[in-house]
A and B are shown apart, each in its own frame.
Chain A
Amino acid sequence: MSFVPGQPVTAVVQRVEIQKLCQGENLILGFSIGGGIDQDPGQNPFSEDKSDKGIYVTRITPGGPAESAGLKMGDKIMQVNGWDMTMVTHDQARKKLTKKREDVVRLLITRKSLEEAVKHSKGSHPSHLPAQTNARTTKDRVVL
């Protein structure tokens, strides 16, 4: 999942749509993120490449909206509502996720298991892969 900055990235991604949950006056998504270009990538336990400064999901609140949407711990977030997350600071990422006016976030995430699933199916059509329940997800091959 590493990439050379400036070069096109190829990854197997999954779209995850999370509805924000209203809690009092806050809208929460139910997960935590870590990473960012201003953070020390060596301490990221989820990344394969320790120089990867992307945004990763570090924790999922059980029973929260993220969990129901199919987000998993260790996922790398590539886009949020169309905004790129591969080259942002931690704070920028957090801001993109917590906009008060939006009550749904559509994430593009990638994880190792997706890559492997695709590899195992040896390039067969993505629709053969098991579908996720409870969320609209499609597995695409995306060139960013």
Chain B
Amino acid sequence: MPTDKYADMEEKLWILEDLNMMYIRQIAVSLQDSDIQKKIDHEIRMRDGACKLLAACSQRDQALEAAKSLQTCSTRIMAYMSELQRMKEAQVMQNVPRRSSDAGPMDDRLPCKGKVAISDLRIPLMWKDTEYFKNKGELHRCAVFCLLQLGGEIFDTDMVIVDRTLTDICFDNTIVFSEASPGFELRVELYSCCSEDDYSAGSTPRKLASKLSSSLGRSAGKKLRAAMEPGACSPVSNGGAAPLLLPVPSVPGPKYHLLAHATLSLSHVQDSFRTHDLTISGNEECSYWLPLYGSMCCRLAAQPHCMTQQMMGGWLKVKQCGGDPKTWTKVYAVLKATSLFCYQRQEDVDANVEPALTIGINKETRIRASEKDPHSKGQNICISNRYGGEEVTHTLNTESREDTHSWMEAFWQHFYDMSQWKQCCDDLMKIELPSPRKPAPVTPKQGSLYHEMVIESSDDLSSTVSDILARRMQELELRSQLGTSPTWMSVFEENSPKSIGFPVRPCTSRLSGHSPHSPHRLPPRSPASPHRCPQPGLLSSDASLTSDSDSHCSTSPCSHRHGWPEPSSNFSLLSSSPSRLRPRTLSLDAKLSTLRGRGYGGGVAFQCSCQPPSSSLLAPHPVSSRSPLSQRSTQTTLSCSSSTSSSSSSNSEGSHSPESSEGGPFSRPSPARRSLRNLRARLDPRNWLQSQV
């Protein structure tokens, strides 16, 4: 009888599995590696739990989550087992006497390890017009999640339900892998599972199944059939790469299938977002199919340990060539990141005191040990750097030869690390560790930005784009317990008080339909701030900004002109390091900033805080005054963000409009851009427009 056969099969599978488990345990014991064994045991327990939960739960959501954990556990078990195998093999190999030709490379220096973090994963979808806009066809929903694997560590992201109202799949988890070598390979796998009616596979007897599939509609039946048979559509869930040590137990409930995967390595690491290609498996016939655009966007950052940890420390005597040749200064030197920090006392290292001397150690530095100095016990080490056109040399002297040797060794290791980690050693990439949080409340539907942007069609457009975004921001902040803002909000955040100003949105005042005004109407203003970015309203009062100067729209603006390419519910990793001012390199932002820089001044009258009485007007405002304009800046900022308060008179941040015709260096922006700006300016009630009549 058919049912018996199935039962038999299942039982056999379970027995096989148990046998496998025993085998694995034995290997682990023989290797005397209790660590892996514990991990495997843990995962197996988790997997059993997930199976039981799957069998027991009734709600679709729970089932999906449980299936996800099941998938993760299985993958982890697989990984641990392959590692075990490898270790076993290595052990066996060691026992075999090695031939001389097998000897490893002479220089068996190992690069330091590092942390690799991936975050803000976003996978765009490509729905057909009919599906997306016209809402035709039944709503096909899938549950997706990503599995990330590096070395022996496997992490999964949260599960996201995707249907055709979504333009992108976003995972706002940050995953940090702690011990990665420079040659790492980060495998990203996207699993999906059809989340519709209960197609619990395997439990329905075949006859009934075929009856059902023929009586249902064509597409539904197709899906059902696909879900039933573990056929061509559903590749083995571990990606089909390694032969299965352990057959995956067939459990009732939803099953995830691999939809796409990608492998990232050191060359993909960058301190900003990048797009990578995805290899898609599966085709349209599969139940778990989603129309992927074919690429994936994420931020992959790496922090090698040589950049974050102290590589070497000790007492040295330093003297600078070209300086006073007789004086040696005794310092406590610490080799870290791209410099050698010399402190006067050892305690200063932890005390966050500024080092007395900092010597740069980077790819350009040359270090050599000099001949034994008859005057001193140890050898000298000379460090040469080129600063600008000059070459500066520092000489270090150590206490003894062993010290010299260990310092040289440390330097060589450092250079080696830097050569291996390449671009990661130029500057420290920031990795934000997710704080432990309660799971975010599940939103019923993850709407896309299109659906959430409701613009009332009133004449006054009172609910403006900025308001909507502000509301959304507040919503998000309430929802996420992390307190970090979505990606685009990071554009508004200040880097540091000294950062190059964020030119926030410009606002314009409408040019009354009058064309170029005649010169005599030029206000007698010093072309004070041609580039001065005005202080337009901020997006929300929460975002504080010190806009210092405006100008140099080198850093990104924000703009709501175009639809936001990145939906807002994202984690934002602060991609700038506080110590260095670094323009944000989001590609859209770069483009926008060039746009703004070009068509800025001139014909557009923009301003926000209005003019001061004419006397103070003429005080020339230096264009790029990054100097503590702070008082003014902050006041302007404050005035922008809080509607009442503030002193009007000191609002005079000369962001007075070079209203149109300021002759000068600006060209009038093209009519299209102007009208866009006008529109935006008009729409934002946080501005205080001025119009010329």
Given A26-B514, A38-B462, A42-B643: A32 touches B691 (CB 8 Å cut-off): yes
Is the Cβ of B523 less than 8 Å from the Cβ of A29? Answer: no
* Contact pattern, A 9-35, Cβ under 8 Å of B = 1, otherwise 0: 000000000000001111011111111
Q: 22 A-B pairs, CB-CB below 8 angstroms?
A: A23-B514, A23-B517, A28-B514, A29-B693, A30-B521, A32-B692, A34-B688, A34-B690, A38-B685, A40-B687, A43-B609, A43-B687, A44-B648, A44-B688, A46-B610, A50-B646, A58-B690, A59-B690, A63-B520, A64-B521, A90-B689, A97-B693
- Tally of B interface residues using CB under 8 Å: 43
Q: Which residue of B lies closest to A44 (CB)?
A: B688
Q: How far is the CA of A73 from the CA of B612 in the complex (A)?
A: 11
Most B-side CB within 10 Å, residue of A28, A46, A58: A58
The 6 closest A-B pairs by CB, nearest first: A45-B648, A43-B688, A26-B514, A34-B690, A97-B693, A42-B643
* Contact pattern, B 652-677, Cβ under 8 Å of A = 1, otherwise 0: 10000001000000000000000000
For the complex, is B365 an interface residue (Cβ under 8 Å from A)?
A: no
B517: A residues at CB distance < 8 A:
23, 28
A32: B residues at CB distance < 8 A:
659, 690-693
Is the Cβ of A33 less than 8 Å from the Cβ of B691? Answer: yes
Q: How far is the CA of A98 from the CA of B513 in the complex (A)?
A: 9
B510: A residues at CB distance < 8 A:
91, 94
Is the Cβ of A44 less than 8 Å from the Cβ of B610? Answer: yes
Is the Cβ of B685 less than 8 Å from the Cβ of A59? Answer: no
Is the Cβ of B639 less than 8 Å from the Cβ of A34? Answer: no
Is the Cβ of B685 less than 8 Å from the Cβ of A40? Answer: yes
Most B-side CB within 10 Å, residue of A30, A43, A59: A43
B390: A residues at CB distance < 8 A:
none
B688: A residues at CB distance < 8 A:
34-35, 39-41, 43-44
* Contact pattern, A 44-61, Cβ under 8 Å of B = 1, otherwise 0: 111100110000001101
Number of A-B contacts (CB under 8 A): 111
Is the Cβ of A40 less than 8 Å from the Cβ of B643? Answer: yes
Given A40-B685, A43-B639, A45-B610: A94 touches B512 (CB 8 Å cut-off): yes
For the complex, is B141 an interface residue (Cβ under 8 Å from A)?
A: no
B608: A residues at CB distance < 8 A:
43
For the complex, is A62 an interface residue (Cβ under 8 Å from B)?
A: yes
- Residues A79-93 near B (CB distance < 8 A): 89-91, 93
Q: How far is the CA of A138 from the CA of B610 in the complex (A)?
A: 30
Is the Cβ of B686 less than 8 Å from the Cβ of A40? Answer: yes
Q: How far is the CA of A39 from the CA of B515 in the complex (A)?
A: 25
A50: B residues at CB distance < 8 A:
644-646, 648
Is the Cβ of B648 less than 8 Å from the Cβ of A43? Answer: yes
B690: A residues at CB distance < 8 A:
32-34, 58-59
Most B-side CB within 10 Å, residue of A34, A51, A73, A98: A34
A90: B residues at CB distance < 8 A:
682, 689, 691
A97: B residues at CB distance < 8 A:
693
Is the Cβ of B687 less than 8 Å from the Cβ of A39? Answer: yes
Is the Cβ of A45 less than 8 Å from the Cβ of B609? Answer: yes
Given A23-B518, A59-B611, A94-B512: A42 touches B693 (CB 8 Å cut-off): no
Please report A residues at the B interface, Cβ cutoff 8 Å. Answer: 23-26, 28-36, 38-47, 50-51, 58-59, 61-64, 73, 89-91, 93-94, 97-98
- Min C-beta distance of B501 to chain A, whole Å: 19
* Interface residue from A36, A43, A51 paired with B651 (Cβ < 8 Å): A43
* Interface residue from A23, A29, A58, A64 paired with B610 (Cβ < 8 Å): A58
For the complex, is B625 an interface residue (Cβ under 8 Å from A)?
A: no
Is the Cβ of B643 less than 8 Å from the Cβ of A98? Answer: no
- Min C-beta distance of B612 to chain A, whole Å: 7
B513: A residues at CB distance < 8 A:
26, 98
- Min C-beta distance of B513 to chain A, whole Å: 8
Q: A34-B688, A61-B523, A63-B520 are in contact. List 12 more A-B contacts (CB 8 A).
A: A23-B514, A28-B693, A30-B521, A31-B692, A34-B689, A44-B648, A45-B652, A50-B644, A58-B610, A58-B611, A73-B614, A91-B682
For the complex, is B524 an interface residue (Cβ under 8 Å from A)?
A: yes
B613: A residues at CB distance < 8 A:
73
For the complex, is B309 an interface residue (Cβ under 8 Å from A)?
A: no
Q: How far is the CA of A61 from the CA of B692 in the complex (A)?
A: 10
Q: Which residue of B lies closest to A30 (CB)?
A: B521
- Min C-beta distance of B682 to chain A, whole Å: 7
Is the Cβ of A94 less than 8 Å from the Cβ of B691? Answer: yes
Q: How far is the CA of A58 from the CA of B690 in the complex (A)?
A: 7
Q: How far is the CA of A144 from the CA of B514 in the complex (A)?
A: 32
Q: How far is the CA of A43 from the CA of B642 in the complex (A)?
A: 10
For the complex, is B283 an interface residue (Cβ under 8 Å from A)?
A: no
Q: How far is the CA of A51 from the CA of B611 in the complex (A)?
A: 18
Q: How far is the CA of A42 from the CA of B686 in the complex (A)?
A: 9
- Min C-beta distance of B268 to chain A, whole Å: 45
Q: How far is the CA of A89 from the CA of B510 in the complex (A)?
A: 13
Q: How far is the CA of A39 from the CA of B690 in the complex (A)?
A: 10
B651: A residues at CB distance < 8 A:
43, 45
Q: How far is the CA of A76 from the CA of B513 in the complex (A)?
A: 23
B646: A residues at CB distance < 8 A:
42, 50
For the complex, is B279 an interface residue (Cβ under 8 Å from A)?
A: no
- Min C-beta distance of B520 to chain A, whole Å: 7
Q: How far is the CA of A46 from the CA of B688 in the complex (A)?
A: 12
- Residues B482-521 near A (CB distance < 8 A): 510, 512-515, 517-518, 520-521
* Interface residue from A31, A40, A62, A94 paired with B524 (Cβ < 8 Å): A62
Is the Cβ of A98 less than 8 Å from the Cβ of B693? Answer: yes
Q: How far is the CA of A94 from the CA of B691 in the complex (A)?
A: 7
- Min C-beta distance of B212 to chain A, whole Å: 60
Q: How far is the CA of A137 from the CA of B44 in the complex (A)?
A: 93
* Contact pattern, B 596-609, Cβ under 8 Å of A = 1, otherwise 0: 00000000000011
For the complex, is B107 an interface residue (Cβ under 8 Å from A)?
A: no
Q: How far is the CA of A39 from the CA of B645 in the complex (A)?
A: 15
Is the Cβ of A43 less than 8 Å from the Cβ of B610? Answer: yes
Is the Cβ of B514 less than 8 Å from the Cβ of A45? Answer: no
A36: B residues at CB distance < 8 A:
689
- Min C-beta distance of B623 to chain A, whole Å: 22
Q: How far is the CA of A63 from the CA of B691 in the complex (A)?
A: 18
For the complex, is B460 an interface residue (Cβ under 8 Å from A)?
A: yes
Q: Which residue of B lies closest to A64 (CB)?
A: B521
Q: How far is the CA of A117 from the CA of B14 in the complex (A)?
A: 100
Given A32-B690, A40-B685: A26 touches B609 (CB 8 Å cut-off): no
Q: How far is the CA of A30 from the CA of B521 in the complex (A)?
A: 8
Is the Cβ of A31 less than 8 Å from the Cβ of B460? Answer: no
Is the Cβ of B521 less than 8 Å from the Cβ of A40? Answer: no
B460: A residues at CB distance < 8 A:
38, 89
For the complex, is B203 an interface residue (Cβ under 8 Å from A)?
A: no
Is the Cβ of A94 less than 8 Å from the Cβ of B693? Answer: yes
Is the Cβ of B649 less than 8 Å from the Cβ of A45? Answer: yes
Given A59-B523, A97-B693: A42 touches B645 (CB 8 Å cut-off): yes
Q: How far is the CA of A63 from the CA of B643 in the complex (A)?
A: 35
B643: A residues at CB distance < 8 A:
40-42
For the complex, is B114 an interface residue (Cβ under 8 Å from A)?
A: no
- Min C-beta distance of A45 to chain B, whole Å: 4
Q: How far is the CA of A118 from the CA of B528 in the complex (A)?
A: 39
A41: B residues at CB distance < 8 A:
643, 688
Q: Which residue of A lies closest to B651 (CB)?
A: A45
For the complex, is B253 an interface residue (Cβ under 8 Å from A)?
A: no
For the complex, is B537 an interface residue (Cβ under 8 Å from A)?
A: yes
* Contact pattern, B 518-555, Cβ under 8 Å of A = 1, otherwise 0: 10110110000000000001000000000000000000
